[in-house]
């Protein structure tokens, strides 16, 4: 597979450990990297992003093969993997760094993301709550520090992983059995 055969999706939906743990299990996903994006600070660190003052969101940059999984399918997984109705918050994780956002890499992604958000709003997929997911062009991506990569795989029994991340992984497997990689079934 060459660089020309893959595309990128950059998604923010709370702690990047959660989204990474889900997306590494999606069929057609080649790589998932946790990091920071769409803020104003150059070379942000985890400590700086946690202050909420950098403008960056914790994100995952998903590298995927569009001949196996579509961008729309990735968005469906994304919306089922976090709560897109809570502004700057996912559970006990609070701050702009935990916002719900889709950072698009081209016009086709922007149109698909806006259409997906509009369809969820029109269908009242989340009841009376409104979707607060931001759709914006992807800016510079900064990889997170090495200790954040594959955190769930390395620390599955740690409190946050066991009580927050693991249920999201399980919910993904139940909701999208056709998208679960063979090794994760």
Active site residues: 15
**Cα separation, 168 vs 127, whole angstroms:** 20
Average pLDDT, stretch 1-30?
93
Residue 69: C-alpha distances to residues 26, 29, 60, 165, 180 (Å): 8, 8, 17, 23, 11
Contact, 98 vs 36, CB < 8 A?
Answer: no
Give 23's contacts (C-beta < 8 A, 6+ positions apart).
11, 29, 32, 60, 62, 74, 77
Domain count, the chain: 1
pLDDT at 1: 64
Backbone angles phi, psi at 70, to 5 degrees: -85, 160
Residue partners of 71: CB distance under 8 A and separation at least 6: 7, 9, 108, 109, 112
pLDDT, tens digit, 9 for 90 and up, residues 40-94: 999 999 999 999 999 999 999 999 999 999 999 999 999 999 999 999 999 999 9
CATH number of the domain where residue 67 is located: 3.30.1060.10
Kindly tell me if the per-residue pLDDT of 2 is higher than 70.
no
Predicted local confidence at residue 123, as pLDDT: 84
Domain residue limits at 64: 3-184
DSSP 110: H
| Cβ(21)–Cβ(89) below 8 Å | no
- Looking at per-residue confidence, does 127 or 109 come out higher? 109
């Amino acid at each position: 597979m060459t660089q020309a055969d893959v595309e990128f999706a950059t998604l923010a939906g709370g702690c990047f450990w959660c989204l990474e743990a889900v997306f590494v299990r999606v069929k057609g996903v080649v790589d998932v990297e946790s990091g920071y994006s769409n803020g104003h600070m150059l070379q942000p660190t985890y400590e700086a992003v946690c202050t909420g003052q950098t403008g960056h969101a914790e994100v995952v940059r998903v590298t995927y093969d569009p001949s196996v999984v579509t961008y729309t399918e990735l968005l469906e997984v994304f919306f089922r993997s976090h709560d897109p109705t809570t502004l700057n918050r996912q559970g006990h994780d609070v701050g702009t760094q935990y916002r719900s956002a889709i950072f698009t890499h081209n016009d086709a992604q922007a149109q698909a993301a806006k259409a997906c958000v509009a369809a969820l709003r029109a269908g009242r997929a989340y009841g009376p709550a409104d979707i607060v997911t931001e759709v914006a062009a992807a800016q510079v991506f900064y990889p997170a520090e090495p200790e954040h990569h594959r955190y769930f795989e390395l620390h599955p029994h740690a409190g946050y992983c066991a009580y927050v991340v693991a249920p999201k992984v399980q919910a993904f497997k139940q909701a999208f059995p056709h998208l679960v990689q063979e090794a994760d079934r």
